Amino acid sequence: MSWLNSVRNVIPFVVKKETPDHLWHKCKGCGQMVFTKELEDNLNVCPKCDHHDRIGPKARFRHLLDEGSCNELPAPKVPEDPLKFRDSKRYADRLKAARTSAAETDALVNARGTILGHKVVVGVQDFAFMGGSMGLAVGEAFVRGVEAAIADHCPYVIFTASGGARMQEGILSLMQMPRTTVAIQMLHDAGLPYIVVLTDPTSGGVMAAYAMLGDVQIAEPKAMLAFAGRRVIESTIREKLPDDFQTSEYYLDHGMLDMVVHRRDLRERLATVIGYLTGSRQAA
């Protein structure tokens, strides 16, 4: 045994302590490492650059609805694999994996509750569930959310986050575009507001349907909002697009949004808008 090995054997071995991965979060906006607890306390907004991180339904309900008022609506039952679709994997297997990962039944979750005393039904799309894609389950959940709002005689607020229609359901996913449009008309016939909050990212068939049909259109800062991709448009028109093209701020400047609201102000702003639209400002 060499002298070096004998010395190594005498020195007590100290186990290297590894930092758990969940303690830190790398911001997608500025690339800085942020303490996860600090990020969550700041409503999942980066305290260094103000980047609004994507959040799921449960976090959104917790930030938005009055404490103790949240009551999630049951997920609707729809045919799960109507086309028996298979690409590199079976669609049924993709659904199973998405449900395990996102801990949700599908990409749209509704809840009844109150926002600063105003009764409301809120729908939240979860981008973590197959890119928030719109299929039969999302379309049916949207209709159920509208029906719940009509039954409660209150506004329906939808938070969009989607890559568009779900390709594994083919034309059945595209049929959700007119279905949701009819549901919005039902809400209008009942004299109730439909409020849209666009979050990063919202695109494709969702952007071409219920995401742009709100009585009031709100967006979070610097959200990517689009129907077609930037490269597709540039190659079609053969022109260089502005750097801020397809952002919340660009849409606001061009009259396609009513307001861009920081997440910390969203609860109070929604309460104000609902109060004006329902004539119940005193409730706030």
What is the DSSP code (8-state) at residue 283? G
Q: Give residue 151's Cα distance to chain centre.
A: 25
CA distances from residue 233 to 225, 227, 238, 251, 252 in whole angstroms, order as listed = 14, 10, 8, 16, 20
**Considering just the CA atoms, what is the radius of gyration of the chain in Å?**
22
Instruction: Yes or no: say if 34 and 23 are a contact pair by the CB < 8 Å rule.
Output: no
> Is position 70 annotated in a ligand binding site?
no
- Other CB atoms within a 10 A radius of the CB of residue 276 amount to 13
Distance CA 175, CA 137 (A): 12
For residue 202, give both structure tokens. Answer: 């919202």
For residue 248, give both structure tokens. Answer: 């919340």
Instruction: Yes or no: say if 153 and 121 are a contact pair by the CB < 8 Å rule.
Output: no
Distance CA 123, CA 227 (A): 21
Distance CA 277, CA 281 (A): 9
> Is position 30 annotated in a ligand binding site?
yes
> Is position 154 annotated in a ligand binding site?
no
Distance CA 13, CA 170 (A): 59
For residue 103, give both structure tokens. Answer: 């801990």
Give the residue among 65, 136, 150 at the shortest CA–CA distance from 105.
Answer: 136
> Is position 27 annotated in a ligand binding site?
yes
Residues comprising the binding site for Zn(2+)?
27, 30, 46, 49
Residues comprising the binding site?
27, 30, 46, 49
